[in-house]
């Protein structure tokens, strides 16, 4: 008498199992395929001439402009940088207030820093690193859609140039792909910075590794990726663009290195030859769900960068790497940068 019910339960279990297997395959097959592609991207030997062009950069923390760093720290930095291709220092001078303004108290030690760098590191350019988080629903942050806020950011950039910086490095995030207000801000910033003889650079989000990845991630509330087309629009509006090619959540070094190689190629394809393109190297070791330090190593990022450069545009001169960040870097990070990317003669 219970056999029909038992039979129905068995059928339902089989259907549920088949559905589960089908869903697993829908997820697993693309993941395995993508993993294989990244491993393949990391294979092979980098081109011998895919090395530093003397256009590298280093992000420096706020301690350099608020009085916590001094002459001994600069001497150590000079030793670290000796012989490398580091041309630019992005010195954290902000953060910007949510209305786009910047109080002078935030960078009270800047005169000492600029004079000391020009004396101890001749030829190195110091840019003001300005940033803020962008507003999210229900939270605070910079509103790019506000004309007044964008005008205030431009005024803050002028303020930095008047203080003696040689450029402005903008890092506001997360910027949604296609955001026209961000492009409008860059259109206003570039002439303001250039009129004072400086350069405009930006920290850029990663490029869609798969078609419509930004759409899928957007549905989950993430704004991590830009389309390649939007990346190109940003690159055309600045003098220098540094890809934040870390925080990928990848679990293994070969996958991460392959991902950096892929990002390098994608970025090279749409960055104008007149714009410096820099690929970010992770010089930090905090483990989170989005960053596994055992996978995201400086060595893997350097090798991936070299592979991508050699395959896409090995003779490009306006290219380099950007090291993030000075206060978290280890001796091993600096060795990986020197050994993998080379030194200037």
Residues 207 and 320 in one domain: yes
26 and 113 in one domain? no
Residue 99 reports pLDDT greater than 60 = yes
Supply the pLDDT for residue 33.
46
Evaluate whether residue 200 is within a structural domain: yes
Q: 211 with 272, same domain?
A: yes
Q: Are residues 11 and 123 in the same domain?
A: no
Express each pLDDT in 228-257 by its tens digit: 999 999 999 999 999 999 999 999 999 999
58 and 37 in a single domain? The answer is no
Do 143 and 184 lie in one domain? The reply is yes
pLDDT tens digits, 208-233: 998 655 454 444 445 789 999 999 99
Q: Is the pLDDT of residue 155 over 70?
A: yes
Both 234 and 174 in a single domain? yes
Identify the pLDDT of residue 32.
Answer: 40
Mean pLDDT (whole number) for 325-340: 98
The reported pLDDT for the residue numbered 34 is 63
- Which has more confidence, 134 or 9? 134
Note the pLDDT of residue 192: 98
Domain residues for the domain of 295 are: 54-341
* 104 in a structural domain: yes
In this predicted structure, the answer to whether residue 6 has a pLDDT above a threshold of 90 is no
Q: Residue 65 falls within a domain, yes or no?
A: yes
60 in the same domain as 23: no
Q: What is the model's pLDDT at position 299?
A: 98
Give a yes or no: residue 162 inside a domain.
Answer: yes
Model confidence at 345, pLDDT cuts 50, 70, 90, reads low
Q: How many domains would you assign to the chain?
A: 2
β-pairing, 125-133 vs 319-324, is unpaired
Q: Is residue 49 part of a domain?
A: no
Q: How far apart are CA 108 and CA 252, in angstroms?
A: 42
Q: Is the pTM of this model over 0.75?
A: yes
Locate tokens 């980098």: which residue? 46
Q: Are 152 and 100 in contact (CB under 8 A)?
A: yes
Tell me: do 167 and 31 sit in the same domain: no
pLDDT tens, 271-321? 999 999 999 999 999 999 999 999 999 999 999 999 999 999 999 999 999
Q: 280, 329 in Cβ contact below 8 A?
A: no
Between 110 and 32, the more confident residue is: 110
Same domain, residue pair 107 and 238? yes
What DSSP state is assigned to residue 75?
A: H
CATH number at residue 216: 3.20.20.80
Asked whether the predicted pLDDT for residue 146 surpasses 60, the reply is yes
Are 198 and 238 within 8 A, CB to CB?
Answer: no
Mean pLDDT of the chain: 90
pLDDT tens digit sequence for 24-51: 433 333 444 466 899 999 999 999 999 9
* CA nearest to 234, candidates 192, 270, 283, 258: 270
Q: Give the pLDDT confidence score for residue 264 in this predicted structure.
A: 98
Q: How is residue 69 written in tokens?
A: 């760093």
Specify whether 221 is located in the same domain as 313. Answer: yes
Residue at 46 is within a domain:
no
Q: Give yes or no: residues 235 and 145 share one domain.
A: yes
In the chain, DSSP assigns E strands to 56-60, 86-92, 125-133, 167-173, 199-204, 206-207, 225-226, 240-243, 276-282, 319-324
171 vs 28: which has the higher pLDDT: 171
Domain-located, residue 48? no
Are residues 55 and 320 in contact, defined by beta-carbon separation less than 8 angstroms? yes
Q: Rounded to an integer, what distance in angstroms lies between the CA atom of residue 341 and that of residue 261?
A: 14
User: Is residue 230 one of the residues assigned to a domain?
Assistant: yes
């Amino acid at each position: 008498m219970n056999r029909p019910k038992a039979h129905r339960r068995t059928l339902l279990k089989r259907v549920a199992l088949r559905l589960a297997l089908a869903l697993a395959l829908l997820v697993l097959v693309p993941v395995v395929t993508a993993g294989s592609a990244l491993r393949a991207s990391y294979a092979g030997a980098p081109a011998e001439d895919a090395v530093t062009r003397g256009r590298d950069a280093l992000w420096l923390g706020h301690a350099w402009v608020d009085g916590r760093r001094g002459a001994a720290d600069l001497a150590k930095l000079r030793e670290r940088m000796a012989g490398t291709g580091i041309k630019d220092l992005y010195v954290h001078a902000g953060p910007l207030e949510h209305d786009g303004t910047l109080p002078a108290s935030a960078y009270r030690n800047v005169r000492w820093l600029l004079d000391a760098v020009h004396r101890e590191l001749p030829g190195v350019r110091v840019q003001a690193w300005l940033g803020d988080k962008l507003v999210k629903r229900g939270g605070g942050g910079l509103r790019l859609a506000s004309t007044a806020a964008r005008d205030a950011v431009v005024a803050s950039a002028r303020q930095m140039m008047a203080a003696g910086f040689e450029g402005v490095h903008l890092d506001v995030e997360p910027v949604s792909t296609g955001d026209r207000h961000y492009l409008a801000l860059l259109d206003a910033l570039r002439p303001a910075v250039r009129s004072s003889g400086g350069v405009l650079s930006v920290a850029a989000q990663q490029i869609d590794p798969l078609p419509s990845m930004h759409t899928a991630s957007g549905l989950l509330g993430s704004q991590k990726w830009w389309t390649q087309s939007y990346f190109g629009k940003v690159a055309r509006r600045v003098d220098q663009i540094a890809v934040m090619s870390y925080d990928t959540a990848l679990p293994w070094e070969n996958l991460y290195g392959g991902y950096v190689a892929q990002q390098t190629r994608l970025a090279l394809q749409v960055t104008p030859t007149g714009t410096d393109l820099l690929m970010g190297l992770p010089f930090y070791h905090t483990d989170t769900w989005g960053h596994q330090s055992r996978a995201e190593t400086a060595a893997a990022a350097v090798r991936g960068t070299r592979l991508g450069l050699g395959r896409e545009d090995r003779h490009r001169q306006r290219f380099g790497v950007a090291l993030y960040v000075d206060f978290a870097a280890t001796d091993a990070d600096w060795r990986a940068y020197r050994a993998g990317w080379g030194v200037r003669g």
